[in-house]
Amino acid sequence: MDLIKKNLITKETEDAVLLYIDETHIRSYHVLRSTWSEVGRQKQVPTFGHHAHVSRFGAVNVHDGETVLHQTTAANAATFLDFLRMLKERYLDRLMVLVLDNARIHHAKMVKEFLREEGQCFHFIYLPPYSPQLNPIERLWKWLKDTVIANVFHKDRNDIIQAITRFVNYIHERPEEVLQRLGCAG
């Protein structure tokens, strides 16, 4: 198996795919970032007193910039399994080497049972604890949040979803830009 891992890290094959995966939450907490404004007039973003959010699972292929994103209401073991099933359908008959963090949901009993029963197509490589800098999809999440929620007011969850959909459509059309933003372009 070590030979397979070494091969995948340097070169993708027709029988295998290397994906970096993670989950994130896009919240309507109104994030203010550096921005231009008129001298003496601070940028203001309205708020409405409650917080809407959207959760997403994602996978990025650092060889070709392809992304697979899955929207969900929460990030838990059950929704993680839904994401794994989605990946399994997308990459039929391929070994998926998934690089991921050590979140509890990734080690849950139901995930282990799924992998034992029907997860022969998956191989997990866990990153060391507290090392998000080693997972390129973290840079995708930052780009998403900078684009979707920084200095922006979203009136409700649906408004957040629409903004995320625009972002997802944009990146799906531009895999080269994804690779550049992730620092994976050759």
92-118: pLDDT as tens digits: 999 999 999 999 999 999 999 999 999
Please name the residues in contact with 46: beta carbons below 8 A apart, sequence gap of 6 or more: 30, 153
26-76 pLDDT per residue, tens: 876 656 566 677 888 876 666 565 567 789 999 999 999 999 999 998 999
The whole-angstrom separation of Cα 74 and Cα 95 is 27
The pTM of this model reads 0.82
